[in-house]
Amino acid sequence: MSRDSSRDMAEKWLLAEPDEDMRRELQLLINGPSKELEERFDGRLLFGTAGLRAEVGAGPTRMNRLVVRQAAAGLVDYLLRTVEGSAEAGILIGFDARRKSDVFALDTARVVAARGMKAMLLPHVLPTPVLAWNIARLGSAAGVMVTASHNPPQDNGYKVYLGSGAQIVPPQDELISDEIESFDATEVELAPENSPLIEVLGDACIDEYIKWLPTVRLCRDLPKITVAYTAMHGVGGDTVVKAFASAGFAPPVVVAAQQEPDGSFPTVSFPNPEEPGAMDLVIELARQSGAAIALANDPDADRLGVAIPINGDSSGDWRLLRGDEIGWLLGDHILRHTTGDDRLVVTTLVSSSLLGKMARKNGVSFEETFTGFKWIADAAIRRSDKHLVFAYEQALGYLVADRPLDKDGISAALLMTEIAALATKDGVTLQDRLDQIAAVYGQHVTAEMSVKMSPSEGVAVVQQLRENPPKMIGGRVVAGIEDFPEANLLRVWLDEVGGRGVRLQIRPSGTEPKVKLYGEAVDMPESELQKLLAALAPN
């Protein structure tokens, strides 16, 4: 796009932009260097299976009220065209505490109402699982959650669910995107805030969710244990405290500095429990309070991070559990305390293979899906003849019940607390539990690494490996290669296909400029597995 056409579009956006801070930013862009202006107005923020997610800023390639209005209009028209009765069923809309989440949610409701559809707004900032869980309860045609999950503080996003309570998958994303593109972002019609089609819901939406949460528990008559918890400045804090009380647990000891919602995330540079240092405050609180376990939600509370004391001594050193280790503990607990040959467990291609081995040993159906919880939900919907009892992805996403069809860091926190309390009752540590699992299935070791490169370079790297597969990696024989073209993922087996062989995987990231590599082996030092990943990695 030329400088003149970018300027013309920017001036049109300036006239339509409702927020003073965005108008100031637009004016600076118009007056500033052409490169930045052209970048902001070259195309639009693409709507995909994760909805929208980007830095809050002015222009069609950032998150702002005009972009949100355009997205809402496209979503509504898609629903009206494809879902019978959607106007009456309406859209449920939630939001977190990030910058502009509240106005993005209200604008969505006003667009929905202007197009003749019912809009239901959650009453205040609430976790994503509350939104997802209530879609089915209310029978809404879709749900929108305004959140950027665990992204950096400057970002915001727009996550879309359909009436099943599951996130969208292809081709729904492309069809919605086509509808969005048919609207001029500067001319989307808005209903008044007091439109009769806009309903601000009461507290029943949170109360019913809290009332349901104890049903995820599998064991009773357990000792009270101390749990340290952090909301990481997100919106999960109040809900988690209520959830613990509803489930019959002692109140968690919370990190006061991180308990209240704050979209600037003042004590963490990257509010993701996986990031080094992000759980430091809750681990220190756990050490001081003699806690049995430390738990952390990400800012919208759909993910769960866990730390445990090394050697069971809460006053000593602690370590973060990897996402797969949490999955192993949850999966083992659920399979040991549920029954039925109709049970189903699900995980993703890049998560550990151990859940599949647990499923086989317990006579339970198992599905492996593409990366992303939307695909886990898709698998559960496809296997409606089975009863979903557990699903997880290694990026700290867990579903410990058959609803909502999305990851839920709050119900997972309750079940992890139950696991820790049961370990206390049995006189063992959580590390002992992991060792017991390893004694049955072998010591599974996982490793990850990434290499920065452009998306096109990442695709080319995987394609080159696909066309010219290696015969040796790190001095080990390549025994087999599995290709998952829909996920653009290659799985390389060393020494032996399946069983106790080494599994290496490579794929370009769908959200970041990097290639990601994943390794898994049984009874191998992690350092050796890392060397094998490095041998597969592009230079």
Average pLDDT over residues 466-495: 93
Residue 500 pLDDT exceeds 70: no
pLDDT at 312: 85
What is the C-alpha to C-alpha distance for residues 349 and 247, in angstroms, rounded to an integer? Answer: 33
For residues 156 and 62, the answer to whether their CB atoms sit within 8 Å is: no
Confidence of residue 5 (pLDDT cuts 50, 70, 90): confident
Q: Identify which of 484, 500, 503 has the alpha carbon closest to the alpha carbon of residue 492.
A: 503
Task: Say which residue, 1 or 357, is predicted with more confidence.
Answer: 357
Confidence of residue 91 (pLDDT cuts 50, 70, 90): very high
Contacts of 403 (CB under 8 A, 6+ apart): 133, 136, 165
Residue 66 pLDDT exceeds 70: yes
Residue 450 designated active-site: no
Lowest mean pLDDT among 38-52, 174-188, 358-372: 38-52
Peptide bond into 266 cis (omega under 30): no
Residue 4 pLDDT exceeds 90: no
pLDDT at 283: 98
How would you classify the pairing of strands 387-393 and 227-230?
unpaired
Q: Identify which of 93, 94, 104, 122 has the alpha carbon closest to the alpha carbon of residue 67.
A: 104
pLDDT at 497: 60
pTM for the full model?
0.95
pLDDT at 2: 56
CA 372 to chain centre: 8
Confidence of residue 15 (pLDDT cuts 50, 70, 90): very high
Residue 364, SS3?
A: coil
pLDDT at 539: 82
From 3.20.20.210, 3.30.1360.120, 3.40.50.300, 3.40.120.10, which CATH number describes the 222-442 domain? 3.40.120.10
- For the chain, the structural domain boundaries read 1-42, 47-202, 222-442, 444-536
Return phi, psi of residue 273, to 5°.
Answer: -55, -20
pLDDT at 466: 94
pLDDT at 499: 56
pLDDT at 498: 57
Lowest mean pLDDT among 226-230, 406-410, 501-505: 501-505
Residue 434 pLDDT exceeds 60: yes
pLDDT at 311: 86
The 10s digit of each residue's pLDDT in 223-279 is: 999 999 999 999 999 999 999 999 999 999 999 999 999 999 999 989 999 999 999
pLDDT at 94: 98
The yes-or-no answer to whether 47-202 and 222-442 have a common fold is: yes
For residue 521, the one-letter residue type is A
Confidence of residue 513 (pLDDT cuts 50, 70, 90): confident
Average pLDDT over residues 332-348: 97
For residue 51, the one-letter residue type is G
Q: Look-up: residue for tokens 């613990």? A: 244
- 107 to 181, 212, 423, 425: CA distances (angstroms): 18, 31, 48, 51
For residue 27, the one-letter residue type is Q
Residue 3 pLDDT exceeds 60: no
Which runs of consecutive H residues, i.e. helices, occur in 83-182? 86-89, 101-114, 128-138, 172-181
Average pLDDT over residues 9-31: 96
* Residues 436, 366, 243: CA angle, nearest 5 degrees: 70
Average pLDDT over residues 65-76: 98
Average pLDDT over residues 423-449: 96
Residue 413 pLDDT exceeds 70: yes
Average pLDDT over residues 153-169: 95
Q: Identify which of 154, 100, 150, 160 has the alpha carbon closest to the alpha carbon of residue 125.
A: 100
CATH no. of 444-536: 3.30.310.50
Of 6, 86, 101, 149, catalytic: 149
Residue 49 pLDDT exceeds 90: no
> What is the percent of the chain where pLDDT is above 90?
92
Average pLDDT over residues 502-512: 87
For residues 145 and 234, the answer to whether their CB atoms sit within 8 Å is: no
Confidence of residue 53 (pLDDT cuts 50, 70, 90): very high
Structure tokens at 155: 């970002």
Residue 313 pLDDT exceeds 90: no
Residue 520 pLDDT exceeds 70: yes
The 10s digit of each residue's pLDDT in 95-125 is: 999 999 999 999 999 999 999 999 999 999 9
Tell me which architecture the domain covering 47-202 has in CATH.
3-Layer(aba) Sandwich (3.40)
Q: Where are the beta strands (DSSP E) in 405-501?
A: 444-452, 472-473, 476-484, 489-494
**DSSP assigned state of 61:** T
pLDDT at 109: 98
